Amino acid sequence: MNGFIRELRGAYAFVERNINLIRRYWGWEIVWLIYSLVNSLAVTYIGAGMERISGESLDTQYIITYLLVGTLIWSYLSVIFYSISEMIAWERWEGTIEYTFMAPVSRLTHLVGTTLFAIGYGIIRTLVILLIVAAFFHLDLSGANIGGALLLLLAGSVSFVGLGILAAVLPLLYPERGAQMTNAAAAILLLISGVYYPVATLPDWLQAIASVSPATYVIEGMRGCLLRGVPTGSLLPTVFTLIGAGIGVTAIGLVIFRKVERYAKRTGRLKRSG
């Protein structure tokens, strides 16, 4: 029991630390929020302008909602991905990595704390963007299955936790360039997961890669819920697949992380700050 309480305190250390980082770097937080917001608006306005671009009569409302769902879900999932993948990069930037790795806190606890923060932060941030974007467009979600959409989002979060751990390995392996490499990983997920267009638009070989991205299923399922009101019952196979894949990717991520941590300790890579 004492051990469990100690691990809980350890997990909360990362939640509190990240809240303090937001408080202390609030200027960056505002800049980042404005960037995400403007990005969401810009993408959604493409939908609003589709009739003028094509010169044909289109269901603009459907396209707007289609793009808005993609951009908001991507905003949420990328927050999860970056929060977890940066759990090492932050320590590198601040130079505290050796102290955190020397502390008697397991990497699983480290991850649990970071994930709890990431999910809470991602939800709040996405809701803020949604509220502001909703003021620019008329959104009709009267037939949407909101509960099913949230269920899919949570299930998809588990997978992104695993992907985040895999990306977190990069700053551990490459002190100077690892953080930038995580951006490349996120960009590939954005390209292949059907965030702004149907996956079927992609060439066959990219569609094959898209089929292993959890974001593909989250975004497709969320669009089904929000645009077509797909009932929760028919989402369950996807939900269970996402949770299963998420647990699997997380477990693989932890094993790889552990091996890379040992490699970093063998070669002295914890010492250098990127």
Partner 1 sequence: MSNPALELVQVRKVFSKKEGSNKRFSRSKREVVALDGVSLSVGRREIFGVLGPNGSGKSTLIRLVSTLLLPDSGMIRVFGHDVVREEATVKRMINRVSVDAAFFKKFSPLENLSYAARLYGLPMREARAWMREILLRLGLPEEAFTQPMEQLSRGMQQKVAVARGFLTSPTLLLLDEPTTGLDPHSKRDVQAFVREIRAEHDATILLTTHDMEEADRLCDRIAIIDKGKIIALDTPVGLKGMVERRNGRSPTLESVFLELTGHPLDEKEVVE
Does 98 participate in binding partner 1 (rule CB under 8 A)?
A: yes
Nearer to partner 1, 136 or 174 (CB): 174
Q: How far is the CB of 91 from partner 1 (least distance, A)?
A: 9
The answer to the question of residue 174 lying near partner 1 (CB under 8 A) is: no
Using rule CB under 8 A, residue 180 touches partner 1: no
Q: Which two tokens stand for residue 65?
A: 């909602």
Q: Which is nearer to partner 1, 116 or 209 (CB)?
A: 116
Is there binding between residue 271 and partner 1 (CB under 8 A)? Answer: yes
Residue 202 backbone class (left: φ over 0; alpha: ψ -120 to 50; beta: rest): beta
Burial pattern 12-24, b for ≥16 Cβ within 10 A else e, equals ebbbebbeebeee
Is 270 a residue that touches partner 1 (CB under 8 A)?
yes
Among 55, 56, 104, 204, binds partner 1 (CB under 8 A): 104
Distances (CA, A) of 155 to 236, 248, 270, 274: 10, 13, 33, 33
C-beta of 267: minimal distance to partner 1 in Å?
7
- Specify whether the backbone of 103 is left (phi greater than 0), alpha (psi in -120 to 50) or beta: beta
Single-letter residue type at 75: S
Among 10, 122, 156, 214, the residue binding partner 1 under the rule CB under 8 A is 10
Q: Is 19 or 150 the residue whose CB approaches partner 1 more closely?
A: 19
Closest listed residue to residue 87, CA positions, set 113, 106, 105: 113
Site for partner 1 in 57-96 (CB under 8 A): 94-96
Tell whether residue 259 is a contact of partner 1 (CB under 8 A): no
Q: Interior CA angle at 159 toward 236 and 39, to 5°?
A: 100
Stretch that binds partner 1, among 45-53, 74-82, 191-199, 265-273 (CB under 8 A): 265-273
Residues whose CB is less than 8 angstroms from the CB of residue 241 and which lie 6 or more positions away in sequence, other chains included: 217
Candidate list 56, 138, 143, 266; residue touching partner 1; CB under 8 A: 266
181 touching partner 1, by CB under 8 A: no
Helical segments of 193-272, H only: 204-210, 214-228, 236-267
Q: What are φ and ψ of residue 229, in 5° steps?
A: 65, 35
Question: Quick one: which of 24, 228, 258, 259 contacts partner 1 (CB under 8 A)?
Answer: 24
Q: Which is nearer to partner 1, 24 or 228 (CB)?
A: 24
In sign, the C-alpha dihedral spanning 116, 22, 128, 228 is negative
Q: Minimal distance in Å, beta carbon 114 to partner 1?
A: 13
- Rounded to whole angstroms, the Cα distance separating 26 from 211 reads 38
Give me the residues that bind partner 1 (CB under 8 A), please: 5-7, 9-10, 12-13, 16-17, 20-21, 24-25, 94-96, 98-106, 262, 265-268, 270-271
